[in-house]
Amino acid sequence: MQALCLNSNQPKDLSVIEAPVPEPGPTEVRLRVKAVGICGSDVSAALGKPNFDFVIRPRILGHEFSATVESFGEKVEGLSEGDPVCAIAIHSCHTCDNCRAGNTQICEDRQILGFHMSGAMADSVCVDQRYIIPLRYGLGFVEGSLVEPLAVASRCVLKMCEIRPGHDVIVSGCGIIGLLCALLARAAGGNVTVTGASWDEEVRLQKARDLGFSTLVVSDETPLADQIPRLADRFIEASGAPQALAAASDSVQWGGLIGIIATYGSNIDWPATNIVRREQKIHPCMAAAWDDFEAAMKHLRDGIIPVDDLVETFPLSRAIDAFEASFEKTTPKAVMIPED
Ligand SMILES: [Zn+2]
Ligand SMILES: [Zn+2]
């Protein structure tokens, strides 16, 4: 089968390879991949960024995908060949306190599909049945490839940041997670402003404007706090830029909330005393659990997410072009489609 392989930790060391079709173990399902997105985390791993040093290479990447059931091991129940599905990206122990509370994404033994094990940027992938979720509401496969990133955004915006009608919300960062957060925050009644850097102006901030958001360019010379008429109730840091998180406190209401959905390539000089004196709440948001996936499918069903405006599709054979578009940030979301 065809697959996209990250070969080493050298930047952009990717190739489309011929790999053996995986055989499902007793509790595993072999899935025929229908659409698989490139995540910001895949891009960071492919660029060899230090926050993705944990990825053992060579590795077939891919954790944002939709598929149909192709075959399964003898202990698998309740699935039939051809069923449309997607999958939870984070595999967990199922016995620790966090897992039993439903917070499988912060299990200390977590393993991530496409980073710790072979992922879905391939014609087929094997996944344990416990992580397979039916693709509901007649959603299409490209929509299905957005369920995972939308689940992550949904957890941050709706569960952790508790956005209410009338809240002023700043979404820092205009990549796909930033745009999904902005769309969800607006649907929750927030007045949303999306920020980016000067190099985002032409493509990514334009996309945010096309989606109806006001935008601001932030730089050392033009700090965000100097550009906003009043402090925000909620600030969602989705850019991964250390300086954006370091400055967030200056743009947020006293008693307001900073949600952090990005990870960072370096440590951050943090104005801890200001944050304490203003009692600003900090909410880190890591990935998503089962109920967030279910919520994401409902958002797609409800038409909150203009999928066609966000996604650019590539055949899997052109995976390198899809990654190049992601490195160059010329598309909000590159989604690869394996050929039949
Ligand atoms: Zn992802
Ligand atoms: Zn656990």
277 Cα–ligand 1 center, Å: 35
DSSP at 225: G
Evaluate whether 109 touches 324 at the Cβ level (below 8 Å).
no
Mean pLDDT score of the chain: 96
Half-sphere exposure at residue 262, Cβ-oriented, CA atoms within 13 angstroms: 28
pLDDT at 51: 86
Q: What is the pLDDT of residues 188-245, one digit of tens each?
A: 999 999 999 999 999 999 999 999 999 999 999 999 999 999 999 999 999 999 999 9
Mean pLDDT value across residues 310-324: 98
108 Cα–ligand 1 center, Å: 19
Break the chain into its structural domains and give their ranges. Answer: 2-150+288-337, 162-284
Partners of residue 33 on adjacent β-strands: 67
Q: What is the pLDDT of residues 12-21, one digit of tens each?
A: 999 999 999 9
Question: Cα separation of 63 and 65, whole Å?
Answer: 6
Q: What's the topology of domain 162-284? A: Rossmann fold (3.40.50)
Q: Which residue reads 């990005």 in tokens?
A: 262
Query: Residue 265: pLDDT above 90?
Result: no
Give the rounded distance of the alpha carbon of 250 from its chain centre: 26
101 Cα–ligand 2 center, Å: 9
Q: How confident is the model at residue 340 (pLDDT cuts 50, 70, 90)?
A: confident
pLDDT at 297: 98
Q: Three-state DSSP class for 314?
A: strand
286 Cα–ligand 2 center, Å: 14
Mean pLDDT value across residues 152-166: 96
Which is nearest to 265 in space by CA: 51, 52, 111, 21? 51
Mean pLDDT value across residues 157-182: 96
Which CATH architecture does the domain made up of 2-150+288-337 adopt?
Alpha-Beta Complex (3.90)
DSSP at 230: S
274 Cα–ligand 1 center, Å: 32
Partners of residue 91 on adjacent β-strands: 111
151: Cβ contacts below 8 Å, ≥ 6 apart: 288, 292, 293, 295, 296
Evaluate whether 48 touches 59 at the Cβ level (below 8 Å).
no
Alpha helices, DSSP H only, in 211-280?
Answer: 242-248, 272-277
pLDDT at 47: 96
Query: Residue 26: pLDDT above 90?
Result: yes
